[in-house]
Chain A
Amino acid sequence: MAASGGRTVGSFLWKCGNCCFNFNTVSSNLTRQVLSRQLCVSAVLHRKNLAAAGPEKFSEEFIKKQVEEFNIGKRHLANMMGEDPETFTQGDINRSIAYLFPSGLFDKKAKPLMKHPDEVFPKQRAVQWGADGRPFHFLFYTGKQSYYSLMHDTFTKALAVEKHQDRLRGKDLFTQDAKQISLVGSRWLLKEELEELLVETISEHDYARFIQLMERLLSLPYCSVEEDFVQRYRRQLEIQSSKQQVQPLQYDQHGVAYSTGDGKQRKTATGTVLLRDSGSGSISINGTNYVHYFPVLQDREQLMFPLHFMGVLGRFDMQCSVSGGGHSSQAGALRLAISRAMLSFLSEGQVETMRQAGLLTPDPRIKERKKPGQEGARRKFTWKKR
């Protein structure tokens, strides 16, 4: 049912604290614990049925016990690492776990994990009906009570806004240009996020209807009355380019501006670039001229791309060093390094255009792993009918 995910280390540490690092006994305890407990993972990542599997699998006391264990384990971990238990944050926990249990696995979800039980166990609905079998909520028999109650609430608010408008019209205070809710830089909740909020599954059709209703609410001129309600269902978009760190220009002895592009990776090739201003467009890679280092035209075009895009072809002198990979990946690594180095010479708007051109994104493609039972990553063995 639930997919296997991280192993919670909370109980392990609790045992640790009690038995003073006696690993032998603890490990047998751990295995017993693990086998008896079911492993689960945060629902949003996995898009599985949230609580539709049926009545809750984890009772409230169980969750409370897990929370206690987690807190105690956190204090023990802090003591183990020699840090202050009061100011031990989640980031510190992650670092300590990575230190104590180094894992060579690639899948992030397979590595040891210690998080607050609320993040680990999916949100459960409490029992929906009382001792006499009668449900609490009036919309229980629709099957999707939270969704329909949300729709009803939204519509009620829309009606309220219209009534407010009518009242204002009656008093002749109606103006078309009332204050509008600013929607710039935010987006509606995704279907998965809405599901998580409501703790029940909804279909795409339902989601579409919900968005339609919200849009209708927003189309009314005086919707700013319900701004808080609407903003609860919107998420801010992060501005990507503000994440880019632009290093300041450095000046060497002769007053010539220069800047370094830090080592960039592209499929096991790393490259560093030292850009110098007021040059003649000469490029030396690992001591040799770039025409001799990259005899293939395609690699030289890769080097040319960032400079040509910004129109500064003959302006910079470059000293590059590159190692690893093949000629194509070395060219890609150098291209990234050049773009990074150029950032300090450019203005904000140009940085944004470069980012949108894809010059600043490191290429994540690496060689795919060969799987057992196949000849290569994708190629299967020759299929023989008999």
Chain B
Amino acid sequence: MLYTCLLPACQSEQHLGQYYTVPPSHFHTVFPHGLPPRYQQQVKTFNEGCVMVRQPALELISHLKRADYSKPTLRYLLYGVKGSGKTMSLCHTVHYCSTQGWLVLHIPDAHLWVKNCKELLPSSYHASRFDQPIQASNWLRNFRTTNEHFLSKIKLRQRYVWTKRESTEEGRPLGELVDMGVSRVKSSSDVVGAVLKELRLQAGGTEGGFRLAVAVDGVNGLWGRTTLKKEDKSPVAPEELTLVHNLRKMINNDWCGGAVIATLSQTGSLYAPSSAYLPQELLGEEGFDSMDPFVPVPVSLYSEKEFESCYLYYLDRHWLQHPHSQTEEGKKELIFLSNRNPSVLERLCAFL
């Protein structure tokens, strides 16, 4: 039995190793920016998005189901070797959260905010910080796509003044704030900060009644070093970036009514050796202290059953064209060459 048709909410241990299809309608709303690029190409090729049900994702979902949301937020950290499926598990959980009606704050890759930034503006709100208008406005746009139905429901509790002439009053819907951030690119980073603050305040509230899921991919980028430089060529520390500063406040567990799910990523990380994959190595001391306490969720390579399932899926989709790959011998070769690493296997099968 290769496929289940159940949504993440109804999946359980019996469905381990089986694929479930994400309905196409959900694709553009839930995942405008979160999926790994190679998986996006695969979705385009196969004309459907199938995700395998795996142990780490199921574990996370069961934790989320049983957690008590009146207590401070629990933080979950997915870690594993490169290519073992951390981002995919994160996306699986995000899909679950969105089907349950949570508000999802999905940051696709925190490393994008600490490197390769073309424009750095000094912040208007705080003198020593720097803004990143492009990244912030991109993210706000995607956030708007993800959480359309929430934007009109949530009302602001505070008045925000952007410039001498513009301000957003109390009681306006969040959507207006987001639209303003998208259109006024210069102040988009501050808008992001305001959005995060509002959501933090309102998440656990009884009258609003929504749950907030903060999903951050590549969370170790928030505490490392950046490649950005100020005009006098001195390096910028991550705290000096507005986006990073606000995000760190979100990750602190001083609010309740939601969950923080994070993944470590070595691929985009700066100044980290390629063999590092444990939390201590990648987060550094500072990051570890701020993330502590958290629930670590290890993501391992494919087990025998999972490998079998992936192989059958590729066969089913006629992705493995080479006649030898369809034999037992070919399967053993694939196992050896990829050592059951999901991404390596995917790259291997791409040219077969």
**A residues with CB within 8 A of B:** 281-283, 288-292, 297, 300-301, 304, 307-308, 313-314
| Cα distance A300–B348 in the bound complex, in angstroms | 12
A314 touches which of B81, B274, B332, B344 (Cβ 8 Å): B332
Asked if residues B81 and A292 are in contact (CB atoms below 8 Å), the reply is: yes
Contacts of A313 in B (CB 8 A): 332-333, 335-336
Asked if residues A307 and B275 are in contact (CB atoms below 8 Å), the reply is: no
| Cα distance A297–B344 in the bound complex, in angstroms | 9
Asked if residues A314 and B339 are in contact (CB atoms below 8 Å), the reply is: no
Interface string of B322-352 (1 = CB under 8 A from A): 0000000000110111110100100010000
Q: How far is the CB of A306 from chain B (nearest CB, A)?
A: 12
Q: How far is the CB of A368 from chain B (nearest CB, A)?
A: 33
Given A291-B344, A292-B81, A292-B274, does the pair A308, B339 have CB atoms closer than 8 Å? no
Q: How far is the CB of A284 from chain B (nearest CB, A)?
A: 11
Interface string of B248-283 (1 = CB under 8 A from A): 000000000000000000000000001100000000
Contacts of A304 in B (CB 8 A): 333, 336-337
B82 within 8 A of A: yes
Contacts of B275 in A (CB 8 A): 288, 292
Asked if residues A307 and B339 are in contact (CB atoms below 8 Å), the reply is: no
* A to B CB contacts below 8 Å, 22 in the list: A281-B336, A282-B339, A288-B275, A289-B339, A291-B338, A291-B339, A291-B341, A291-B344, A292-B81, A292-B82, A292-B274, A297-B337, A297-B348, A300-B337, A304-B333, A307-B336, A308-B333, A313-B332, A313-B335, A313-B336, A314-B332, A314-B336
Q: Which of A292, A307, A313 has the largest count of B CB atoms less than 10 A from its CB?
A: A292
Which chain A residue has the least Cβ–Cβ distance from B332? A313
Q: How many contacts A-B (CB < 8 Å)? A: 34
A281 touches which of B335, B341, B344, B348 (Cβ 8 Å): B335
User: A281-B335, A289-B81, A301-B337 known; 17 other A-B pairs, CB under 8 Å?
Assistant: A281-B336, A288-B275, A289-B339, A291-B338, A291-B341, A291-B344, A292-B81, A292-B274, A292-B275, A297-B337, A297-B348, A300-B336, A304-B333, A308-B333, A308-B336, A313-B333, A313-B335
Q: Which of B275, B333, B339 has the largest count of A CB atoms less than 10 A from its CB?
A: B339
Which chain B residue has the least Cβ–Cβ distance from A300? B337
| Cα distance A16–B173 in the bound complex, in angstroms | 108
Q: How far is the CB of B277 from chain A (nearest CB, A)?
A: 10
| Cα distance A281–B301 in the bound complex, in angstroms | 14
Counting from the closest, the 7 A-B pairs by CB-CB distance are A291-B339, A313-B332, A304-B336, A300-B337, A313-B336, A291-B341, A291-B344
| Cα distance A138–B73 in the bound complex, in angstroms | 114
Contacts of A281 in B (CB 8 A): 335-336
| Cα distance A288–B277 in the bound complex, in angstroms | 12
| Cα distance A292–B275 in the bound complex, in angstroms | 8
Contacts of A289 in B (CB 8 A): 81, 339
| Cα distance A300–B344 in the bound complex, in angstroms | 12
Q: How far is the CB of A107 from chain B (nearest CB, A)?
A: 43
* Residues of B56-83 whose CB lies within 8 A of A: 81-82
Q: How far is the CB of A139 from chain B (nearest CB, A)?
A: 66
Q: How far is the CB of A286 from chain B (nearest CB, A)?
A: 11
Given A304-B333, A308-B333, A313-B333, does the pair A290, B339 have CB atoms closer than 8 Å? yes
Asked if residues A314 and B333 are in contact (CB atoms below 8 Å), the reply is: no
* Residues of B92-114 whose CB lies within 8 A of A: none
| Cα distance A291–B341 in the bound complex, in angstroms | 8
Contacts of B274 in A (CB 8 A): 292
| Cα distance A297–B339 in the bound complex, in angstroms | 12
Contacts of A301 in B (CB 8 A): 337
| Cα distance A291–B333 in the bound complex, in angstroms | 14
Which chain B residue has the least Cβ–Cβ distance from A291? B339
Q: How far is the CB of A273 from chain B (nearest CB, A)?
A: 15
Q: How far is the CB of B25 from chain A (nearest CB, A)?
A: 37
| Cα distance A223–B82 in the bound complex, in angstroms | 74
Q: How far is the CB of B48 from chain A (nearest CB, A)?
A: 28
Q: How far is the CB of B85 from chain A (nearest CB, A)?
A: 14
Q: How far is the CB of A184 from chain B (nearest CB, A)?
A: 36
Contacts of A282 in B (CB 8 A): 339
Contacts of B338 in A (CB 8 A): 291
| Cα distance A281–B333 in the bound complex, in angstroms | 11
| Cα distance A291–B274 in the bound complex, in angstroms | 12
Q: How far is the CB of A296 from chain B (nearest CB, A)?
A: 11
Q: How far is the CB of B307 from chain A (nearest CB, A)?
A: 12
Q: Which of A290, A291, A297, A307 has the largest count of B CB atoms less than 10 A from its CB?
A: A291
| Cα distance A314–B344 in the bound complex, in angstroms | 18
Q: How far is the CB of B351 from chain A (nearest CB, A)?
A: 10
Q: How far is the CB of A3 from chain B (nearest CB, A)?
A: 52
| Cα distance A288–B274 in the bound complex, in angstroms | 12
Q: How far is the CB of A288 from chain B (nearest CB, A)?
A: 6
Contacts of A291 in B (CB 8 A): 338-339, 341, 344
Which chain B residue has the least Cβ–Cβ distance from A303? B336
* Residues of B189-234 whose CB lies within 8 A of A: none
| Cα distance A294–B333 in the bound complex, in angstroms | 16
Q: How far is the CB of A10 from chain B (nearest CB, A)?
A: 59
Q: How far is the CB of B62 from chain A (nearest CB, A)?
A: 29
| Cα distance A232–B67 in the bound complex, in angstroms | 94
| Cα distance A301–B82 in the bound complex, in angstroms | 20
Which chain B residue has the least Cβ–Cβ distance from A289? B339
Given A291-B341, A291-B344, A292-B275, does the pair A314, B335 have CB atoms closer than 8 Å? yes
| Cα distance A291–B335 in the bound complex, in angstroms | 11
Contacts of A292 in B (CB 8 A): 81-82, 274-275
| Cα distance A304–B336 in the bound complex, in angstroms | 7
| Cα distance A196–B139 in the bound complex, in angstroms | 87
Contacts of A307 in B (CB 8 A): 336
Q: How far is the CB of A317 from chain B (nearest CB, A)?
A: 13
| Cα distance A259–B47 in the bound complex, in angstroms | 50
Contacts of A314 in B (CB 8 A): 332, 335-336
